[in-house]
C-alpha cells in the first residue's frame, strides 16, 4: 500500500526555483505561438494596409477617375441627355459556321433590332425570313479571327444594320444589339 501512495502523489519540485522554471517553460511555448500569430497577422495585413494608403495618397478619388475616363465633367452644369430608345425586335437562334472552318467551329448569336419608327417592326416580322437569310450570309462570310476580335464588333453591328436596312422599304433600324454572342 505504501507503494501505491507514493505513485499517486505528484512529484513536487525540491526547490521553489524549479517550480518557477517549469512555469516559464510552459508559458514560453504559449508566448511563441502568440508571437507567431501576431507575426502572421502583421505580414498579411501590413501589405494590404500599405497598398490602401498608397492608393489613397497617390490616386485621385473614384469619382474623379470616372469623370476623366468618361470625358464628362459635372461642373459644367449640363445634364447628360438620357438615351431614348425605340421599339425592339429580337431575332434568336442564329447558328453560323464561320468561313474557313469546314463546320468545326460555330457562332451562336441572337440579335436585338431597334427602330424609332413603329412601322418598321411590322415590316421586319413580315420579312423575317429574308432578314434572317441576310444575317446568315453576312456572318457566314466572316472568319473566326474576325468574329473573335472584340474591336470589330461595332463595325459588324453597323454592317448588319446596313444589310437589314437594305431589305426594308418602310423605314430603317437604328441600332443592332448582340443579346447573345457565343463563338466556339
pLDDT in tens, 29-54: 667 888 888 888 888 888 888 777 66
Q: Using an 8 Å Cβ cutoff, are 100 and 144 in contact? A: yes
Q: Are residues 15 and 33 in the same domain?
A: yes
Q: Are residues 92 and 179 in the same domain?
A: yes
End-to-end Cα, the chain, rounded Å:
87
pLDDT tens-digit series, residues 98-152: 999 988 999 999 999 999 987 899 999 999 999 999 999 999 999 999 999 999 9
Residue span of the structural domain in which 121 resides: 87-183
Q: What is the CATH number of the domain that holds 107?
A: 3.30.479.30
Instruction: Give the model's pLDDT for residue 63.
Output: 47
Q: How long, in residues, is the chain?
A: 184
Strands across the sheet containing 107-115: 87-96, 107-115, 175-183
Domain end call among 80, 112, 131: 80
Q: Using an 8 Å Cβ cutoff, are 94 and 161 in contact? A: no
Q: Are residues 131 and 101 in the same domain?
A: yes
Q: Are residues 155 and 124 in the same domain?
A: yes
Identify the bridge partners of residue 96 per DSSP, sorted by sequence position: 107
Instruction: Give the model's pLDDT for residue 38.
Output: 86
| Candidate ranges 8-22, 37-51, 69-83, 149-163; pick with highest mean pLDDT | 149-163
Q: Are residues 43 and 124 in the same domain?
A: no
- Write down the H helix ranges in 59-142: 62-70, 118-126, 128-140
Q: Would you say residue 3 lies in a domain?
A: no
Domain count, the chain: 2
Where are any strands of DSSP class E within the chain?
87-96, 107-115, 175-183
Q: Are residues 57 and 93 in the same domain?
A: no
Q: Would you say residue 35 lies in a domain?
A: yes
Q: Would you say residue 2 lies in a domain?
A: no
pTM of the shown model: 0.55
- Return the number of other C-beta atoms located less than 10 Å from residue 173's C-beta: 27
Task: Output phi, psi for 86, to 5 deg.
Answer: -95, -145
Q: Would you say residue 1 lies in a domain?
A: no
Nearest to 138 by CA among 153, 113, 160: 160
Amino acid at each position: 500500500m505504501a507503494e501505491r501512495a507514493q505513485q499517486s502523489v505528484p512529484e513536487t519540485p525540491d526547490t521553489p526555483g524549479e517550480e518557477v522554471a517549469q512555469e516559464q517553460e510552459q508559458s514560453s511555448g504559449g508566448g511563441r505561438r502568440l508571437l507567431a500569430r501576431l507575426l502572421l497577422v502583421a505580414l498579411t495585413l501590413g501589405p494590404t494596409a500599405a497598398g490602401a494608403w498608397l492608393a489613397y495618397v497617390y490616386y485621385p478619388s473614384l469619382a474623379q477617375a470616372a469623370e476623366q475616363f468618361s470625358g464628362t465633367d459635372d461642373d459644367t452644369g449640363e445634364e447628360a441627355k438620357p438615351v431614348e430608345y425605340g421599339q425592339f425586335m429580337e431575332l434568336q437562334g442564329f447558328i453560323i459556321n464561320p468561313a474557313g472552318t469546314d463546320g468545326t467551329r460555330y457562332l451562336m448569336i441572337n440579335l436585338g433590332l431597334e427602330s424609332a419608327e413603329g412601322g418598321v417592326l411590322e415590316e421586319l416580322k413580315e420579312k423575317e425570313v429574308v432578314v434572317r437569310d441576310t444575317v446568315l450570309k453576312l456572318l457566314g462570310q466572316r472568319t473566326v479571327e474576325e468574329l473573335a476580335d472584340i474591336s470589330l464588333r461595332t463595325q459588324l453591328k453597323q454592317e448588319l444594320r446596313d444589310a437589314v436596312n437594305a431589305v426594308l422599304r418602310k423605314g430603317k433600324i437604328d441600332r443592332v444589339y448582340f443579346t447573345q454572342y457565343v463563338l466556339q
